[in-house]
Structure 1
């Protein structure tokens, strides 16, 4: 069993600490850069997939390059110093660099946008990817045990990334904004570079590096028992790992919604479980409890598959258990995950056990669904690196090659899972296939002559396909029937690459409930929604003319319906991000007929990209796209976006915005436009004085029944009208692209 070489324990611990904080800073960069890239290139599934794929590929290429370079480097610690300084330097320049690229290329076609994203992300991701093989090689200088070095360093780096995921959103961005978070990461990286510099000068390290130059670490005492892993197997492992992660994120978003805190919490649990797996395999190999590492690698893929299947199937089949149903309903009903502040999380107005659960369910549900399977996923990189090392006999190269193959598998798996499997098969069938493949991989642990064992594995794989929940069953459980269904209603589910749409329609009553990734959007009662009618009524009543209308977000079609009722000369443009929403609502006859109107032009696009791509101007823009607490929402609620919208208004044109968060969004609107009419739930803004248009008002009201008219007028609660001449904005109470305050709402 290997230990740090004489005198090297202190340096080994220091190196591990450095790599912990390196993972921390890297995750902060990842969260912020991905968030900022979407302001220029959109939040559509294609944009996100491009960003994530380029990020993963960059890390993989960096791992490969780092493995080659560190083996040939005259001073490995100096190479690490150069890489660390380069990451720090890029982080410092990243904000002005991205602003320069983004301001010129925003709205470009996605093919060209992908090139811009590649230009921005390639250098830092390659540099970050280089650090793992470099650090493992340095650690092997201090520790004669390779598998202990790779598992420990991967464990520490991943634990740091888990901490970075939480603190970046809950602390850095919430308190100092996206730019402040980047500068924190830069400061951390600078201190790490300084620490590496001091290590490079340490006489103890210089002596050990000279003494071990060209030496090869041990693995276990004696020869490594194992078999070679074909590249296609490692690629498949990476493919399945990212596929599982995408599906877990999609499922969990139904329960804990899609706030940036929910995402960072799920990611943190995922990374924590990976770290536990990495640490565990190092100790298992050291203990010699695993006789054949190659065979165990294949068995491990089956363990991932079986634990995933048991958890998902168990959740579906035991969903009617009172305690599970109670917790599912509580999470589904709660819109803010977490609540506004730490004190509210710990107490709440009614500190019952259920309320405390809802405050921390962004951690509890991920632990339940993905904790155990991801521990087994975390075994893969260190274990594969040890097996590859048996043939390469070069620590950095073994880690780098493994990292590259895993990352390429991640990139391919991310794209295939999103745009092929989920698009055409849905979550349940995709998971069933992944589980079946994972079980079949256990055949690699068997000898060819073991026909009974091979037949048993094939039979187990087939049984998993048969017993796995059928299409739609999982999302029926995640949307509790007691809340979403009513007698005589019809359920429509649509799932594709962009979202899970769950709509419940009662044709006789005209009632419609609509959920996008677990959040309620729109809704009709008796075929009507008085709140949306009041917004539209006030909008058309204060425009000087009404010929062109832009609607951002379909919801359940209320704004589109009202706009199409206006005079024949009115043209309506609808911008909707989710094609699945349109496809699902078209299953309802009245909405399908409405969306087929010749007066309507429908664009499947991110609203910000849409406005950046064209110069058309409108008399009225209606906005009610998503909740301000939803991830990426500030792209449509920032001062920069409102300025963009203002450039698309005709003289006398009006923008109507729903105030899902009344203080910050109201202040942001006031700081952008010259005139604002403020209501309890929405606001009208314009750069021209408002003109009351009685003709438009009466034209719309005449289409409503007496009851609908009373309900619509009854929900109009006007507060006051502002003129911006004397308004002094408080930058701490407005949204900007770099300070998304209503989105990152949590306060310690």
Structure 2
């Protein structure tokens, strides 16, 4: 009877402990998510900071498993120790938010103490983080060996509880990851999610202590049993087999962390870099590990000693990884259809898409990882009496490998090997781990070793093959367009010319040229900059804030992008610009945008020193002169820490990070960040914060405005890029331009040809008064009324991060026009704000001439927008229409207003490339429109009406003589050269003129535009300069190795030139 009662109590204890351990696994993962996010407010979101925080977390877990594993084997009641650990974890977790807040408050002194050298900085960040999270992590790490010891009979099997408890705890961790990442954090925020987890831990601790008292009889019973000599024998500290096993364990831990980080990077490209994508990746990894451990417990314990088992498991990891890599392009296409994107507008649908996509890539190898942990414990061949030490040792070595993996992957492996090479290295580690644990002696064993090594090497070689970024890094999850890839993949790829692809420490950077010649900078697949209309946003981010602080000398730019913002800021005399950029690969792409970014990289101290070294000794600059001329400094790190941890104050802080829905970017839109920005501005300084207005909810936008209002008394909105982008301005002084200071700035603009031309090209004019009147969309009073109408009181804070969780869902929502952020920009030209601003600028509103001028300005912006996008901007056209209509209301017979309104009507009816009738009507209305001349010429060229096409190209270039890439005028010159050189009709050909235009086009576009080089070679041949044509063509062949169709064409052209024959169009 007593035996039956003991058995029943033992069974209840087993299931109770399992339930408690499942729950504590969930709280442990919740802490990891919460503390990682909070430490990003201390150290930033850089890869180095992530490695420091992750490493300290893992170090604590491993140390706890090692130390408490030994204690577990000597404890009479390990369950009581487990209860104490859980109680302490909960209590400490309640204190940690205050510790992290203190670190945030001490940022300035803290960052001043950090070393410049990255490794020393990492060590210091690691040490400080460990002081905070180390104690609870040590206790968490010790809970596994303590409970395994409790539930394993001393005369039982080593595998009795290991696989089960590891599985049940990891299932709990997966549940905690999902609940925290998808539900608790969005609804409760960081603080209350942390506190909820802490209270659960305290409850677990209390229940465990009560259960330990009830289980005392079992322990007494066991204590009375005489231990055998084998049971008294402590676990061997070292032996060749154990050394090999521990090496294998560390390699597996390192490989697992490397693969997890690789999958996170790759799935951020496939799904978008939102916090939900990261949560889904971690959830699936944990689910796979838990499933693998459960499979071991249920089915594999009996065959755990057979060499075939580790071979099969490592094979599952390696070949599962290979299958996921091969699936990556397919997964990219699978999330692109519109119905899939619609699903992601809801919490449940988004979670399903993210989880299923992640599972397709990583579930199989994660299952293999889960089998390996209890398998490695089994291979220690320890007695059941030493199970705590055995588990603690394996856990510690596994964690040591994970720490190395976390430290090396983002900082070193991604930049050196890319994600494919990094994944291949992880697979190689698993193969080496396998070779370390399977027996070698004997002919049969050697055969198995050879097969394992050969199969592993083959798989590693395939995994290492890089994937064409045109298949994965095109942002199909947000832009769609998968149909093109499915229907005609070769044609879709042919439209994209890869120029640079670099997988950096923080993200993947892809520079490509899209038809018709648009240059794009993609970060994790999403377009972050272009040399088209994106220039208006980045250039405007430098120009407009300065109009409110014309004498600005010290400028901080957060986010390098294409380099246009720091480049434009440096155009003004005596301005020094410091730019913080998270990813060095983004800065490395700057040379591709040299034609639009004013080359800020040439004004760094390093660039000046390099050029200075090449000068003759008597012409070299002195160190003082170099310091004076080095007006640009690039710093690689997190933008939040740039403001928070700096002791310097700035006249302008221009923040242009990536989109607010991306994980980490919302850290630059919280109340705490705005407070830091305010504290680091000089008197009258201006914070300029870029915020998208396209694909962004008005509600989310107004929350950002409300959050900024909580720290700044004055604020306003600048509209950019056809209403698709905005700059939210904030200051401690009224944001009303000083007329005298603005007049001085106007003199600077008028005397700086590059700035003047830039403003005219992108913003329709260089008169700063009219620029402000056209683009300063909303002032403080207007925003206050919008906030009042919005009715919400929500703020985006460090502890709530509402934007980080709401914006990714709204991104996929089918928004109504009045729900979009861009709706706040549509203002009446007669509004009190417009008239008040006009008077403050010295302009007289309420006259027909005023509204006609305002309409003309908007119409020019529409035309300039069109030159970059092939379509007139509906936003600017609508603005022009309303201005002309207001002028006609004041004077119905105003000729210029009538003409302007007719121009708007024709352009609103225009389609891409236009139709001939509309284009000719537009020229009748305004024969001086260079863009329309060029469009008509292009249309006539397609219709083979070459003579008239030549006339219109010549007229377009006469009206717009300044060739530029951003406005596409260089393509007009290229097309004219082509017609003059290749026309079958002799009367149309003029080799000398063709060479002149082709050389100008090449000079502007550089040799990155291969078609322009080909045109130059063809023009040279038409002009009889065949040797030069061959030379240009051979240079072209060297640059066009990845474009086989172009290579074939050029080779055929060279044969003509060698025969002294020019090329003719068929």
TM class by smaller structure: 0.7 to 0.9
Rounded to whole Å, the distance in 2 between the matches of 1:331 and 1:406 is 43
Q: How does 1:152-231 map to 2 (within 5 A)?
A: 152-202=164-214, 205-213=215-223, 230-231=245-246
Runs (5+) with no aligned partner, structure 1: 220-226, 347-357
Partner of 1:503: 511
Contact between 1:255 and 1:332, CA under 8 Å: does it hold in 2?
no
Counterpart for residue 519 of structure 1: 526
- Determine the structure 2 residue equivalent to 1:278: 293
- Residue in structure 2 matched with residue 368 of structure 1 by the alignment: 360
Are the equivalent residues in 2 in contact too, given 1:543–1:691 (CA < 8 A)?
A: no
1:150 aligns with 2:162: yes
Structure 1 window deviating more from structure 2 (603-612 vs 364-373): it is: 603-612
CA contact (8 A) 2:55 2:126 kept: no
Cα deviations across residues 179-219 of structure 1 (Å, max 9, x unaligned)?
111111111112111211220222xx111121123788999
Further displaced range: 58-67 or 489-498:
489-498
1:439–1:460 CA contact under 8 A, matched in 2: no
Query: Any idea what the Cα deviations from partners look like across 1:385-416, whole Å, max 9, x if unmatched?
Result: 12225367412111111100100011112223
Structure 1 contact 546–620 (Cα < 8 Å) conserved: yes
CA 496–268 in structure 1, closer or farther in 2 if over 3 Å, else same: same
Q: Is the 8 A contact 1:549 1:570 kept in 2?
A: yes
> Which one of 720, 723, 728 corresponds to residue 683 of structure 1?
728
Per-residue CA deviations over 1:106-150 (Å, capped at 9, x if unaligned) read 424134333211211111110100100011111225995542411
CA contact (8 A) 1:298 1:441 kept: no
- In structure 1, the residue matched to 2:424 is 432
1:404-441 CA distances to partner (integer Å, 9 max, x unpaired)? 01000111122233333222111222222333443455
Pairwise CA distance, 1:332: 13
Cα deviation, residue 261, structure 1: 1.8
Contact 2:73–2:385, Cα closer than 8 Å, also in 1: no
Structure 1 656/87 Cα, relative in aligned 2: closer, same or farther at 3 Å?
A: same
Question: Superposed, which structure 2 residues align to 1:508-657 within 5 Å?
Answer: 511-525=518-532, 529-565=535-571, 567-590=572-595, 593-597=599-603, 598-657=630-689
Q: Counterparts of 1:332 and 1:504 in 2: how far apart (Å)?
A: 28
The structure showing larger relative contact order (alpha-carbon pairs under 8 Å, at least 6 residues apart) is: 1
Distance 1:456 1:33 in 2: 45
Conserved in 1, the CA contact under 8 Å of 2:42 and 2:100? no
8 Å CA contact 2:305–2:379 kept in 1: the answer is no
Separation (CA, whole Å) in 2 of partners of 1:705 and 1:79: 71
The gaps in structure 2 that reach 5 residues or longer are 1-5, 115-120, 232-240, 477-481, 486-491, 604-629, 693-699, 720-725, 750-754, 811-1066
Q: Are residues 359 and 379 of structure 1, via their aligned partners in 2, closer, same or farther at CA, if it must alter by over 3 Å?
A: closer
CA distance in 2, matches of 1:554, 1:715: 26
* TM-score of the pair, normalised by structure 2: 0.62
Q: Are the equivalent residues in 1 in contact too, given 2:170–2:290 (CA < 8 A)? A: yes
Larger displacement relative to structure 2 (180-189 or 66-75): 66-75
1:338-377 alignment, distance < 5 Å: 338-339=344-345, 341-342=346-347, 346=349, 360-377=352-369
Q: Deviations over 1:48-88 (max 9, x none)?
A: 00110111111011001111111122332221121111101
368-377 vs 295-304, greater mean Cα deviation = 295-304
Moved more, 401-410 or 385-394: 385-394
Deviation, structure 1 residue 459:
2.8
Q: Alignment partner of 2:152: what SS?
A: helix
SS at structure 1 position matched to 2:796: coil
Higher mean C-alpha deviation, range 576-585 or range 470-479: 470-479
In structure 2, how many angstroms separate the alpha carbons of the residues matched to 1:103 and 1:271? Answer: 34
Describe the SS at the equivalent of 1:157: helix
CA, structure 1 residues 730+43, in 2 after alignment: closer, same or farther (shift >3 Å)? farther
Structure 2 CA distance for partners of 1:359 and 1:417, relative to 1, 3 Å: closer
- Write out aligned runs for 1:401-480 (5 A): 401-439=393-431, 441-443=433-435, 444-448=437-441, 449-450=443-444, 451-468=446-463, 470-473=465-468, 476-479=471-474
TM-score for the superposition, normalised by structure 1 = 0.87
> Aligned runs of 1:639-718 on 2, under 5 Å?
639-660=671-692, 661-679=700-718, 681-693=726-738, 694-695=742-743, 696=745, 699=748, 702-704=756-758, 706-710=760-764, 716=775, 718=777
CA root-mean-square deviation: 3.4
Tell me the alpha carbon deviations over residues 207-251 of structure 1, each in whole angstroms, 9 at most, x when there is no partner.
Answer: 1121123788999xxxxxxx8553211111111111111111111
- Partner of 2:9: helix, strand, or coil? coil
Q: Secondary structure, in 3 states, of the residue corresponding to 1:672?
A: coil
Q: Which has the larger radius of gyration?
A: 2
Tell me the secondary structure at the aligned position of residue 736 of structure 1: coil
3-state SS in 2 of match to 1:394: helix
CA contact (8 A) 1:216 1:393 kept: no
Superimposed CA distance per residue, residues 344-379 of structure 1 (whole angstroms, 9 cap, x where no aligned partner): x55xxxxxxxxxxx6632111110000011001001
Structure 1 residue 699: deviation in Å? 4.9
Instruction: State the Cα deviation string for residues 15-41 of structure 1 (Å, max 9, x = none).
Output: 110001101111111111111111111
User: Taking structure 1 as reference, are residues 285 and 113 closer, same or farther at Cα in structure 2, changes over 3 Å only?
Assistant: closer
Is the contact between residue 5 and residue 142 of structure 1 (CA under 8 Å) also seen in structure 2? no
Determine the C-alpha separation between the residues in 2 that align with 1:609 and 1:563. 22
Deviation at 1:586, TM superposition (A): 3.1
- Distance between the aligned counterparts of 1:359 and 1:69, measured in 2? 41
Secondary structure in 1 aligned to 2:806? coil
For the 8 Å contact 2:182–2:351, the answer to whether it is kept is no
Cα contact 1:147–1:285 (8 A) shared by 2: no
Relative to structure 1, the CA distance from residue 293 to residue 5 in structure 2 (aligned partners, 3 Å threshold; closer, same or farther) is: farther
Separation in 2 of the partners of 1:131 and 1:216? 25
**Secondary structure, in 3 states, of the residue corresponding to 1:735?**
coil
2:939 alignment partner in structure 1: none
- Structure 1 residues 389 and 457: CA distance shift in structure 2, 3 A: closer
SS in 1 for 2:570: helix
- Once residues 711 and 509 of structure 1 are traced to their aligned partners in structure 2, the CA distance between those partners, rounded to angstroms, is 26
Corresponding residue for residue 1062 of structure 2: none
* Count of matched residue positions in the alignment of Structure 1 and Structure 2: 711
Instruction: Return the offset for 1:624.
Output: 1.4
C-alpha change, 1:702 and 1:315, in structure 2 (3 Å) is closer
